[in-house]
Amino acid sequence: VRNVTIVGGVPTHWRTSDGDSKPGYKNFYDALDVVSPWLVGRFSDEASFDSYFNNVFLQDASQLKEMGSGYAPVVFPGFSWSNLMRNTGQGDDVINAIPRNGGKFWLHQAESFADMEDAPLFIYGAMFDEVDEGTAMFKVVSHKDDTPAGP
Q: What is the pLDDT of residues 72-127, one digit of tens each?
A: 999 998 888 777 776 677 766 677 788 888 889 999 999 999 999 988 999 998 87
Record the pTM: 0.82
Q: Return the pLDDT at 92.
A: 67
DSSP state of 79: B
Q: Which residues contact 19 (CB under 8 A, 6 or more apart)?
A: 11, 12, 13
34 has which bridge partners? Answer: 7, 70
What pLDDT does residue 91 have? 67
97 or 25, which is more confident: 25
What confidence category does residue 43 fall into, taking pLDDT thresholds of 50, 70 and 90? very high
Which candidate, 87, 37, 84, 81, places its Cα nearest to that of 59? 37
CA dihedral 38, 44, 46, 48 (to 10 degrees): -80
Q: Is the pLDDT of residue 128 over 90?
A: no
What is the pLDDT at residue 49?
A: 97
pLDDT at 129 over 80: no
Average pLDDT for 60-72:
95
Tell me the H-state helices in 3-145.
26-31, 46-52, 58-67, 82-87, 104-114
- Using the predicted structure, report yes or no on whether residue 1 has a pLDDT greater than 90: no
The reported pLDDT for the residue numbered 130 is: 74
The yes-or-no verdict on residue 132 having pLDDT over 80 is: no
